[in-house]
Amino acid sequence: MIALTLAEIASAVGGALRLDGTDAAPETVIEGAVTTDSREIGPGDVFFAKRGEFDDGHRFAPAAAEQGAALLVVERPVDLAVPQVVVGDTVDALGALATEVVGRVRARGRLRIVGVTGSNGKTTTKNLLRAVLERVGPTVAARKSFNNEVGAPITMLELSHDTQFLVAEMGASAVGEIARLVRMARPDVGIVLKVGLAHAGEFGGIEQTVRAKSEMVTDLLETDVAVLNADDPRVVSMAGLTKARVVWFGLAGVAEVRATHLAVHARGTDFTVTIPGGESARVHFGVLGEHHVMNALAAIAASVELGVPLPAIVGALESLTLAERWRMQVMGGRDGITVINDAYNASPDSMSAALKTLAQVQAPGTRTIAVLGEMSELGEFSGEEHDRIGLLAVRLGISQLVVVGSGARRLHISAVNEGSWDGESAFVETADEAFDLVVATARPGDTVLVKSSNSAGLRHLGDRLGEWFA
């Protein structure tokens, strides 16, 4: 975090500064990292005692103090000889501090901010943008999937006065949450990737999902840029909601940043990109999955708008073979067996894309195995969407389905009803059973996909299989 005095922090978050029993003064400067996790605290850091659904961060304030916290932001005073700022709500205070820091850094005139949202692809696109922009200047981007009301401001608080680019991943599970993050860090470029059924159960339907994602662009200024997916009708509809200049990306002919001549293979996807003005380049993109080309196009469009030359963009993209752990992560290798671990998260769109990639990379004379778990947070759509994925797996000719857990059982039943009745689809209750089944049945040359929502925990199964077949 940039250097701020205790008094400045208290003012920014609207809190009361307490210095009882300490040697600190209101003018004491704080410039450590900010976290809500006491395990991450180091000397000079700031600890926000966040209340959670199952726990209360105030319980961990003593541990934070022992590890050298220079400031505690709390909702009630704690009996510790550490400077404290008492606020009404620590999450609101965290956002207020992020807003203050972003404003101060932006006031120096150098910082450019990119906001990224969408039902799928946010983390991949964020990582692609970081790879491009950090070649140009100091760049801050979220660790992992820090994209909610806690993770996003923590990322913003990593800014320094030298930072040139901030890539802010903005997720939501309800209307209003993206708007809140946009108010903290006003993007110069706002990206909307796709609107699908991910979290539709939490949002209360697809219409509410569209409304939530459109918050990325509704408050953009005329001098800003909205980077929108020309291939998604729901995203296309957002063009009428923004004052910003719209730049379209996609495969459609109307897209200004467009991919053509796609060639999908086991090492990624090759494509030709064309940008506004007609300049084009061939891209050998090593991140597996044709669907990730759309994420690459969004990153290219934003980077071009930020003034990065196309050759530099292409060079950065070609340097990557993995966007993030557990996202189309290629493992294995023994006896020609490939394991694709894509089990960090799953929605109907990303599940379909992963299965299509599995079918596309299958070598002649080899088999494909899909180990699939539940797609969570779909609400009323859950049953029909699991049915649809079961049908798709059969129609794509996936050689063997292994369906894991009761939450995904309908996927197995639908596959059987569609024609996988001779053992092509197997149902097991646990990841351990799935591991044993795949190890027992895999043949040389097979390609194994592991895909589920994070809550199903199959990413660890993917790791086990990758290590076993290493």
Q: Tell which of 59, 89, 119 closes a domain.
A: 89
230 and 346 in one domain?
no
What b/e readout covers 103-138, taking b as 16+ CB neighbours within 10 angstroms?
Answer: ebbbeeeebbbbbbbbbbbbbbbbbbbbbbbbebeb
What pairs with residue 85 in β-bridges? 17, 73
118 marked ligand binding residue? yes
- For residue 431, give the H/E element and its range: helix 431-441
Does 11 fall in a domain? yes
218 marked ligand binding residue? no
Domain of 301? 108-318
Q: Tell which of 292, 318, 344 closes a domain.
A: 318
123 marked ligand binding residue? yes
Q: Tell which of 89, 118, 142 closes a domain.
A: 89
Q: CATH no. for residue 253? A: 3.40.1190.10
382 and 256 in one domain?
no
Give the model's pLDDT for residue 323.
Answer: 76
Does 300 fall in a domain? yes
Instruction: Tell the burial category of 447 from Cβ atoms under 10 Å away from its Cβ (0-12, 13-18, 19+).
Output: buried
Positions of E strands within 216-363: 225-229, 245-250, 257-265, 268-274, 280-285, 329-332, 338-341
235 and 156 in one domain?
yes
Torsion of CA 295, 285, 267, 338, to 10 degrees: -30
Does 101 fall in a domain? no
341 marked ligand binding residue? no
CA distance 435 to 459: 12
124 marked ligand binding residue? yes
What pairs with residue 51 in β-bridges? 56
204 and 168 in one domain?
yes
Asked if 117 contacts 181 with a C-beta cutoff of 8 angstroms, the reply is: no
At 458, is the secondary structure helix, strand, or coil?
helix
Does 102 fall in a domain? no
Does 286 fall in a domain? yes
Domain count, the chain: 3
Asked if 181 contacts 94 with a C-beta cutoff of 8 angstroms, the reply is: no
444 and 389 in one domain?
yes
Q: Kindly report, residue by residue over 335-385, the tens digit of the pLDDT.
A: 999 999 999 888 898 999 999 999 999 989 999 999 999 998 888 889 999
354 and 300 in one domain?
no
Asked if 248 contacts 242 with a C-beta cutoff of 8 angstroms, the reply is: no
192 and 165 in one domain?
yes
CA distance 241 to 218: 6
Asked if 189 contacts 224 with a C-beta cutoff of 8 angstroms, the reply is: yes
Does 27 fall in a domain? yes
Does 94 fall in a domain? no
Asked if 2 contacts 104 with a C-beta cutoff of 8 angstroms, the reply is: yes
Q: CATH no. for residue 370? A: 3.90.190.20
Give the model's pLDDT for residue 163.
Answer: 98
CA distance 279 to 425: 47
280 marked ligand binding residue? no
Q: CATH no. for residue 15? A: 3.40.1390.10
Low-confidence ranges of the chain (pLDDT < 50): none
120 marked ligand binding residue? yes
Closest CA to 83 of 57, 103, 65: 65
CA distance 171 to 102: 19
Give the model's pLDDT for residue 222.
Answer: 96
Does 424 fall in a domain? yes
Give the model's pLDDT for residue 201.
Answer: 56
- Helices assigned H by DSSP within 67-223: 90-107, 122-133, 151-156, 177-184, 200-203, 206-218
Q: Kindly report, residue by residue over 207-238, the tens digit of the pLDDT.
A: 888 999 999 999 999 999 999 999 999 999 99
Measure CA of the first residue to CA of the last residue in the chain; give whole Å. 41
Enter the DSSP assignment of 27.
T
151 and 250 in one domain?
yes
- The residues, ordered by sequence, that sit 6+ positions from 440 with a Cβ below 8 Å of its Cβ are none
12 and 118 in one domain?
no
333 and 314 in one domain?
no
245 and 118 in one domain?
yes
Give the model's pLDDT for residue 467.
Answer: 96
218 and 73 in one domain?
no
